[in-house]
Amino acid sequence: MATDVVVPTLGESITEATLGQWLKKPGEQVKADEPIASLETDKVAVEVPSPVAGVIGELVAAEGDTVNVGAVIARITEGGAAAASATPAAENKTEVAKAEKAAPAEPAAAPSGDAPSGEESGSEQTLSPSVRRAVLEAGLDPSKIKGTGKDGRLTKDDVLAAAKAGTAKSAPASAPTAAPAPAAAAAPAASGGRKEERVRMTRLRQTVAKRLKEAQNTAAMLTTFNDVDMSAVIEARAKYKDLFEKKHGVRLGFMGFFVKAAVLAARDVPSVNAKIEGDEIVYHDYVDVSVAVSAPNGLVVPVIRDAQDLTVAGIEKTIGDFGKRAKDGTLKMDEMKGGTFTISNGGVFGSLMSTPIINPPQSAVLGLHRIEDRPVVVKGQVVVRPMMYLALSYDHRLIDGREAVTFLVALKNAIEDPTRLLIDL
């Protein structure tokens, strides 16, 4: 008996998704609740579990297809043995696309002794588009890289780490003794031709592009800068990080300090934590901070709820959990919704300065940047201090320049004197 696999409910107001990746192929055995496909929605990737134990039969949809909630994407034969040769058109289309991307410069006819094993071929099939592209660009052998993602799957970070370490290099293919004419004709294009690759935007990237452009078209955006001396926070972190991690089970970072400082500054300047709705201004008596964290498919922005009620330890635990689950692809829809203020830390990637874009309907976003030693004047003396540039982008329709500067100064004062965070000053 065949059981249909349908697209599950994806959350409020979400009616469709993109089939990002098949995790199983026709003829493979699956267990009940074992993930068989990955869907990309406007916000996160969602895995589709098998409703029953059995064998993958027909794949109704192909990777890259747009599928509606409730639509059938595959069928599973319960307890039976499906014929792997009966591969449907959707699977054929997926395999052809993968073959074209996975071996663009391979000879047309490789010697029989160089054929990949079934295990290596299987691992190739489970690579996501972004991971596959990173593997090709770095010239690595994915079978030699240890995956840290869910069920041991490779993530983009795994590939980048292997490339940086210089491991898992792909062995060059041995040239056949008598290359056929088609391969010889293709050689000039492979060695000297300029290449282009056309990759369909993920649904997440489409949504990000749409919302960011919407912000530029709607808000009167302006960015105000300041800098902050990180000496006190660095000293406090160095002094207490071991005790902090031992007690709370999480590392003490800088984001905990900045989230607390932003909450404190937002009390003085409530418009930074407000939004425009029609011809009204909506003020919040709570601060839900959206924090950008890195995921295999790009940055995602989960929300720290009621940040005003959390300690630095509570904030660090929440951010650490978000980061781990972002890499595993297990963040939930509800964790990505809402938010009254955003903090984006481009400094972890080496950014010196930027003008972040507002995340509608929010009215402000704080950009953090890298810490570097710079000469500054302190009490008439030129000294070297670890400095960071801060950038506050805001909707000038709601927030005046005076308010933006006041917010940044309050945040700067709290970071340069962390005692203010303890006494609510």
Q: What is the pLDDT of residues 238-269, one digit of tens each?
A: 999 999 999 999 999 999 999 999 999 999 99
pLDDT per residue as tens digits for the range 367-385: 999 999 999 999 999 999 9
Q: Which of 141, 321, 328, 400 is labelled catalytic?
A: 400
- Choose the weakest-confidence range: 118-127, 338-347, 363-372: 118-127
Q: Is the pLDDT of residue 64 over 90?
A: no
- Choose the weakest-confidence range: 6-10, 245-249, 274-278: 6-10
Enter the CATH code of domain 204-423: 3.30.559.10
- Where does the chain hold its CATH 2.40.50.100 domain(s)? 2-192
Task: Write out the two tokens for 269.
Answer: 């300047």
Per-residue pLDDT at 285:
93
Rounded-to-integer distance, Cα 137 and Cα 144, Å? 16
Q: How many CB atoms are located within 10 Å of the residue 24 CB?
A: 20
- Where does the chain hold its CATH 3.30.559.10 domain(s)? 204-423
pLDDT per residue as tens digits for the range 10-61: 765 567 788 878 888 888 888 888 888 888 776 667 788 888 888 888 888 8
Q: Which of 151, 242, 396, 417 is labelled catalytic?
A: 396
Helix (H, G, I), strand (E, B) or coil at 109: coil
Q: Are 150 and 330 in contact (CB under 8 A)?
A: yes
Q: Are 297 and 128 in contact (CB under 8 A)?
A: yes
Per-residue pLDDT at 150:
66
pLDDT per residue as tens digits for the range 146-181: 888 766 777 877 888 888 787 766 655 444 444 444
User: Is 400 a catalytic site residue?
Assistant: yes
Q: Give exposure, 346-356, as e/b (b: 16+ Cβ within 10 Å).
A: bbeeebeebeb
C-alpha separations of 187 from 96, 98, 170, 181, 283 in Å: 21, 21, 19, 10, 64
Q: Which CATH architecture has domain 2-192?
A: Beta Barrel (2.40)
- Choose the weakest-confidence range: 111-125, 174-188, 329-343: 111-125
User: Is 248 a catalytic site residue?
Assistant: no
